[in-house]
Amino acid sequence: MDFYSFLYTMAHGPLLWISFLTFILGSLLRIILYVNLSRKKDKITHQHFNLKYVLMSLFRWILPLNRTVAKNPIFTILGYIFHICLIVVPIWYVGHISLWEESRFGWTWASIPDEWADRMTLVFLAIALFFLLRRIFSRDIRKISTLSDYFLLVVTALPFMTGYFLSHATLDGVPFLGDYMELIHILSGEFMLILIPFTKLSHFVLFLFSRGATAIEFGRRGYTV
């Protein structure tokens, strides 16, 4: 077995399981640590827990019904679109669903049309490029940006870029890339999953908890979030 075959087998087997388990267990650990720390530092917030405040705040933030939209509508709307594409395309793309159907789980669900997946991928990549250029050329944003911010933006965009190239055979004529695009796509997706619990990408799972704590604090003070 040559190195490519070995890596291909690993990417479809052990590395795939490692990435999913790291994502799931790491995210659960981050949630537990966050809640424990919050209970120690924000005892008043937990004493005044009110589900109504939490649900109202989440509803306002999941839908564009909050003050941030009014302050910066273009950037906020782009952020919403970015995150919608980030979630919808990997989960509801027919090629990914077919892999779950062929797995030992045999899971399946309705997919989005390929045209939607293509357009959402291109929109996602365009917004990712805009965010990257904004960090580079905006003086205020550049001051508060770290190398990690640039790195994680690239890591997030890479599975989408390689997935689009793979599904459209865009770089099939390019040496190395054409031969290894599927492997690059799989490894980039697994790498992103592994990084989520240990980087700023963890806001993907911590958002509900941090938003809920903020909602309770603002709600008990009589403010709307």
Ranges assigned E (strand) in the chain: none
| Residue 221 predicted with pLDDT over 60 | no
pLDDT tens sequence across 105-131: 899 999 999 999 999 999 999 999 999
Q: Is residue 77 part of a domain?
A: yes
This prediction has a pTM of: 0.85
Angle at 19 (CA atoms; ends 205, 116), nearest 5 degrees: 70
pLDDT value for 209: 72
Per cent of the chain over pLDDT 70 is 80
225 found inside a domain? no
Calculate mean pLDDT across residues 188-192. 96
With contact defined as beta carbons under 8 Å apart, do 114 and 97 qualify? no
Q: Mean pLDDT across the chain, nearest whole number?
A: 85
The structural domain count of the chain equals: 1
Q: What is the pLDDT of residue 7?
A: 84
Residue 48 lies in a domain: yes
3-state helix, strand, coil in the chain (%, to 5): 80, 0, 20
Domain holding 155: CATH number? 1.20.950
Instruction: With respect to residue 212, please indicate whether it lies within any of the assigned structural domains.
Output: yes
Average pLDDT estimate for 2-11: 82
Domain that holds residue 210: 3-220
Any domain includes 28: yes
Residue 113 lies in a domain: yes
Q: What is the pLDDT of residue 69?
A: 67
